A and B are shown apart, each in its own frame.
Chain A
Amino acid sequence: MAANETTAAAMTPPRDAAATAARDRAAEYLVSRHRYRWAEALPWLACIAVFFLFPDRLTFGSQVLVMVLFALSLDLILGYAGIVTLGHAAFFGIGAYTVGLGAAKFGWTEPVSGLFAAFVVASIAGFITGWFLLRYRGLTLLMLTLATAIMMQEAGNLRSDLSGGYDGLPGLVFDPLLGRFDYDLYGHTNYVYALVVLAVVFYFVRRIVYSPFGQALTGIRENVRRMHAIGSPVHWRLVTVYTIAAGIAGVAGALFTQTNAYVTLTVFDFENSAKVMVMLILGGTGRLYGAFLGAAVYMVLEDYFSKLSPTFWQFGIGLLLVLAVLFARRGVLGLFEQAGAYFGKDKNKGSKS
């Protein structure tokens, strides 16, 4: 009893070697957590390998990369901050139409600056809608974000003279990349372009996720009441990350328009919002690389099934989802982690963050 009394009172009780070791171990974990691990090179190596192994499938490959980028932006808000949204396609669509309209109506055909423009415009949209909507959570937020995307789609439909409606803006022409690399029929340039953009955005997202701000987002996801109680400006934090994620979704949309050289109002489809969420959940939320795996698995299977059975291909996707929900609650990446923990010698300790 007496021993307990004194330890609680003294802020720095004398420590023995074991306690010091425990402290160092704990500190080391936090200090080293953000460092790059070897396994993280794998998805990038896979992307590079695809370039050489499937030179005639790179148009499809760039579509996968676009969806990876889109899913990555969703991971930032859904996986880390715990914001559930069914309207993320709104920002994808805004980005897609920023470069689409820019090229079709204003002659803004330079691709890289187009991406920046898409980022800015989509961010502004994210900031404005986020400011109003992020006061709500759960189902209410789900409905409101869904409504936002539908409203944007209908606004585009209303001005189909500008947007091209569901026929879209076909035959967009963009300048050669950096003024040097023209677009070839097999999509080599597009693939490399998409991969570089993805890598750059990924670097920024990864920094944010491992920053104190990223930690605070995790805190909001884990327990928002506690975050209020420790003085966190929760709404402001959510609006900030929502704005960033909207901007990145806009970049993904812009890349979509540029690599396809056309855009229609279907980019705002509910299906697009739902698909990206399915991809992310399939891959694993809140772990960055889940976006890679989810988008790749989903799109490759979609491609495969649709060739196998053009009428019933969605059955395959549905079956996959049911299996994922039943056996891989934390996504495909979660399965890998479980396998790693099972076979590895306690090496992956604390891999879930």
Chain B
Amino acid sequence: MTAALQVQNLNRSFGALNVTCDVTMSLERGARCALIGPNGAGKTTLVNLITGVLAPSSGKVLLNGVDITTSSQAARARGGLARTFQINQLFRGLSVLENICMAIGERDGENNNMWRSAGAKRSVIDEALDHLDSLRLVDDALRLVRELPYGRQRLVEIAIALAQKPRVLLLDEPAAGVPSSESHLILDVVANLDPDIAVLIIEHDMDVVFRFAREIIVLVQGAVFTQGTPKEIMSNEDVRAVYLGQEGHDAVQRGGGHV
């Protein structure tokens, strides 16, 4: 069976700086993989290469066995690749419900229709409400996104990605910027994602990583430093030295309250 997402010998440099060096990885269907690494390791760049925001200097990206290296972002999204952003990218002037309907409309090609009214297709609205229901956002459905507290906005960010019905989901620090009193809401959602979706999560908080991931990839200076199960990574002395030793250990000491 082909992997949901494969990355082969991916490289990207900005001038003389190699931000991504020969990265090879793959996500099986239903994978729960965490991508960790110190600041500036190139984690977000890797997500941008996978989703097509950036073009790689060389290497390949395959989605369900299909080469998508030269596809547009939109084509990749329609092929089942969804992402959330490290900093919210929402339709702030629209209601929460409209944010979700937007994703469903683009997924179904509904948004090509210029004649029917946007509210005419009840199935779209009902599906959007189901998504909101499962994230406990129904009460906020008609509020403008910009009026919501940041933690709820983070949930909308995830809800949009889920409304795309992705087969591969890339979560870029889903709980970043959320006060620890609310972050459990987001982490519960992440922990209970559809088991069929292959998920790659970028996260600094080691508690989250060890709770969520079945596989961990450590990225250092743009290259895959090592990868393995949480146990292997935890006991890996080198990883401790470059990463856990500085940040992860502190986080554990603080009780995982990474802000």
**Does residue B259 face the partner (Cβ distance < 8 Å to A)?**
no
In residues 128-144 of chain B, which contact A (Cβ within 8 Å)? Answer: 129-130, 133-136, 138-139, 141-142
The reply to whether the CB of A10 lies closer than 8 angstroms to some CB of chain B is: yes
Asked whether A215 and B51 contact (CB < 8 A) given A13-B133, A229-B73, A350-B142, the answer is no
Are B97 and A26 in touch, CB under 8 angstroms?
yes
* The one of B94, B114, B119 that contacts A222, using a Cβ cutoff of 8 Å: B94
- At the interface, yes or no: B107 with Cβ under 8 Å from chain A? yes
A210 contacts B185, C-beta separation under 8 Å = no
Q: Is A5 an interface residue (CB 8 A)?
A: yes
Interface presence of A234 (CB below 8 A): yes
- Of the candidates B133, B164, B184, which one forms a contact with A12 in the assembled complex, judged by CB atoms under 8 Å apart? B133
CA of A268 to CA of B105 in the docked complex: distance in angstroms? 38
B105 touches A215 (CB 8 A): yes
Across the interface, A13 reaches (CB within 8 A) one of B76, B134, B141, namely B134
- A215 x B77 contact (CB < 8 A): no
| Distance A26 CA – B95 CA, assembled complex (angstroms) | 10
> In the complex the two chains form, is B73's CB within 8 Å of A211's CB?
no
Q: Is B115 an interface residue (CB 8 A)?
A: yes
| Interface assignment of B242: CB less than 8 Å from any CB of chain A | no
Is A223 part of the binding interface, using a Cβ–Cβ cutoff of 8 Å?
A: yes
Interface size of A by CB at 8 A reads: 50
Kindly supply a per-residue 1/0 record for chain A positions 198-221, scoring 1 wherever the CB is within 8 Å of any chain B CB and 0 otherwise.
000000000110111111101100
Cα of A213 to Cα of B142 in the assembled complex, Å: 20
Q: Quick one: closest B residue to A10, CB to CB?
A: B134
In the assembled complex, A23 has its CB within 8 A of some CB on chain B: yes
Q: When A8-B192, A226-B89, A232-B74 are in contact, do A30 and B114 touch as well, CB less than 8 Å?
A: no
In contact, A230 and B114 (Cβ under 8 angstroms) = no
Q: Is A329 an interface residue (CB 8 A)?
A: no
Contact A1-B184, Cβ < 8 Å, known A225-B89, A230-B102: yes
CB–CB A222/B83 < 8 A: no
Known A19-B133, A215-B101, A229-B77; contact A34-B119, beta-carbon cutoff 8 A? yes
Checking B74, B98, B136 against A30 with a beta-carbon cut-off of 8 angstroms, the contacting residue is B98
Cα of A25 to Cα of B138 in the assembled complex, Å = 10
Interface members, chain A 20-58 (any B CB < 8 Å): 22-23, 25-27, 29-34
Q: Which residues of B contact A225 (CB under 8 A)?
A: 85, 89
Residue contact A213 to B119, C-beta cutoff 8 Å: no
- A26–B128 Cα distance when bound, in Å, is 10
Shortest beta-carbon distance, A321 to chain B, in Å?
24
Q: Say whether A231 faces chain B, with CB atoms less than 8 Å apart.
A: yes
Q: Which residue of B lies closest to A234 (CB)?
A: B74
Q: By the criterion CB–CB under 8 Å, are B91 and A213 in contact? A: no
Q: Are B117 and A228 in contact (CB under 8 A)?
A: no
A302 to chain B, nearest CB (A): 32
Nearest CB of B to A183, in Å = 35
Specify which chain A residues have a CB less than 8 angstroms from the CB of B254 in the assembled complex.
none
Q: Mark A315-326, 1 if CB is under 8 A from B, else 0.
A: 000000000000
- The answer to whether residues A216 and B111 also contact, given A211-B116, A226-B89, A231-B78 and a CB cut-off of 8 A, is yes
**Chain B residue contacts of A230, Cβ below 8 A:** 77, 82, 102-103, 106-107, 160, 164
Contact status B118-A212, CB under 8 Å: yes
User: Does A17 touch B at the CB level, under 8 Å?
Assistant: no
Task: Tell yes or no: B122 within 8 A of A by CB.
Answer: yes
Contact yes or no, B129 A212, CB < 8 A: no
| B125 proximity list for chain A (CB < 8 A) | 26-27, 30-31
Closest Cβ neighbor of B93 among chain A residues: A222
CB distance from A127 to the nearest CB of B (A): 16
With beta carbons under 8 angstroms apart, the residue of A11, A32, A214 that contacts B130 is A11
A310 close to B (CB within 8 Å)? no
A187 to chain B, nearest CB (A): 34
- Interchain CB contact (< 8 A) of B91 among A9, A26, A214, A223: A223
Residue A159 CB within 8 A of the other chain = no
Which residues of A line the B interface, CB within 8 A?
Answer: 1, 4-5, 7-13, 15, 19, 22-23, 25-27, 29-34, 207-208, 210-216, 218-219, 222-223, 225-234, 237, 350, 352-353
Q: List 21 A-B contacts (CB under 8 A).
A: A5-B188, A5-B191, A8-B192, A9-B192, A15-B133, A26-B138, A27-B129, A30-B97, A30-B101, A30-B119, A31-B120, A33-B118, A211-B118, A212-B113, A213-B114, A215-B98, A219-B91, A223-B91, A225-B85, A227-B102, A231-B78
**5 nearest CB pairs, A to B:** A231-B77, A26-B141, A34-B117, A222-B91, A216-B111
Additional A-B contacts beyond A5-B188, A228-B72 (7; CB < 8 A) = A30-B125, A33-B117, A214-B118, A216-B105, A223-B89, A226-B160, A229-B85
